[in-house]
Amino acid sequence: MDEADRTIQFLTEVFGATELRRFCDLQGQVIHAEVRLEDSVIMLGDQAEGWLPRSAQIHIYVPDVDATYQKALDWGATSVQVPSQKDDEDKQGGVTDPGGTTWWIATKVK
């Protein structure tokens, strides 16, 4: 029930996002929330009866992929991929937050 709340906390504490609005039902379940991350708004909510849960994978650029990756792990995310550079200009890693969203984080290094 608190997956949206945990995801909002993760976004604000790991990525420095700002919560814009939140609407909850009488039991405190998030019906709809909006969080600003840089110039984008992410809309999310808890699973509701009659709606199947959907996993999400989101790719974002951050100033320091290593620091952000470690901050996410410290916050309780699980590692999907340790940051590494492959055949392009991005150093990229991945984590899954406590709410189940996978975040691919990258920093341009070349």
Chain mean position to CA 66: 16
Q: Which residue has the tokens 């340790």?
A: 82
pLDDT tens, position by position, 3-60 = 889 899 999 999 999 999 999 999 899 999 999 999 999 999 988 888 777 778 899 9
Count other C-beta atoms under 10 Å from residue 98's C-beta.
16
The secondary structure element, H or E, covering residue 23 is strand 18-24
The pTM of this model reads: 0.83
Instruction: Dig out the tokens for 45 from the structure.
Output: 């909510």
Q: Which domains occur in the chain, in start order?
A: 3-48+55-108 (3.10.180.10)
Query: Which of 100, 108, 102, 21 lies closest to 64, judged by CA?
Result: 108
